[in-house]
Each structure stands twice: as structure tokens, then as C-alpha cells.
Amino acid sequence: MLEHRKGNAVPSGESDSARCHPGPERSRAGCTRPRILLVEDDDLSARMMAKLLEDEQFECRYATDYRSALRTASEWIPDFLVCDIDLQSRRDGCDVLRSMRTAYQTIQGISVSGLEFGEARARSEQGGFALHLSKPIDAARLISSLRSLMLSPPRASGRSPAASE
């Protein structure tokens, strides 16, 4: 069961210290629940994607803007970032990834966007995301993309040879 709090989706009855949280700079060996920070400015979409990720055995927290994303990341070190590239503020998804990389140099990210595909993909690549997915998000594609990133070695740039959808 999930407890939903503004900015977070966490399993109820489970403390942070009891969970596996290797972080992007630490070994992933033995981790059974990779941590995903989801940044999506539409609260309902964020909650639905967080639930999907939790159902697929990912540990997920979500943020709806740049500031809350960085705050969440500093309090709860994520392994991966899934981020809307076109946030409804002056800071976009590329800014989120760039800022996170100052602390977690090898964090890998997947960008999502409802923007026209060519423009969004170009922004995603320039921003250092490993992969771009277009909205509406295909749940199976998101899950398989995250699992693929888990198997690829982290790179200092965060980029991996993943394809875009």
C-alpha cells in the first residue's frame, strides 16, 4: 500500500533506513528496490506514474517543480531521475538534471515530454538525459527503459547508448 504525500509516494509502514538506497555514486549490488525520483508538474500524472513504479518494485518519490526535486534528492538520494523536460516554471527538466549532477555525477535520467518529438528529443540530448520518452507515456516502455539503465554502467555524463522513443 502507498501513502501519498505532496511530493512523495512511499510504501506505508516502511522506514527510510530499512530500504536499499545505494545512490548513484555507490554500488548497486544487493539493491532490490532502485530509487527513482520522478519530476512531473502535473500532480495527478505524478501520482499515477509513482504508483506504477512502486507496483513494479521501484521505490519512488515525486516532485512537481525544480526546487522540490532538488530538496527531495538531497534528503533521499535517488538512483535514477525520470523528469518532465517542460516544467511549468522558469527552470526546466534539463536544469533539474544539471543541478543534480553537481552532487551525483553519474545519475542517469529519462526525460518525458508532451512537446513535439524532434524539439523535445534535441533538448533532452543537450540536457544529458540517457533517453527521451514522449507523452502519453507507455508504461511498459518506461519500466523496460529503467531496467535497461540499471544494467548499463553509469557514465560521468550520465548518457548511455539508449535509444529514444
Residue 74 to residue 162: CA distance in whole angstroms: 27
What CATH number should be reported for the domain whose range is 2-24+31-151?
3.40.50.2300
Residue 115 to residue 140: CA distance in whole angstroms: 21
What value does the mean pLDDT of the chain take?
80
Span 93-131, pLDDT tens digits: 999 999 999 999 889 999 999 887 788 889 999 999 999
Residue 141 to residue 89: CA distance in whole angstroms: 27
Cβ proximity of 134 and 114 under 8 Å: yes
Which cell numbers hold the place of 48? 499515477
Can you give the pLDDT at residue 42? Answer: 94
Lowest mean pLDDT among 3-12, 69-78, 98-107, 135-144: 3-12
Can you give the pLDDT at residue 97? Answer: 97
Predicted TM-score of the model (pTM): 0.77
Asked if residue 156 has pLDDT above 80, the reply is no
Q: Where are the domains of the chain?
A: 2-24+31-151
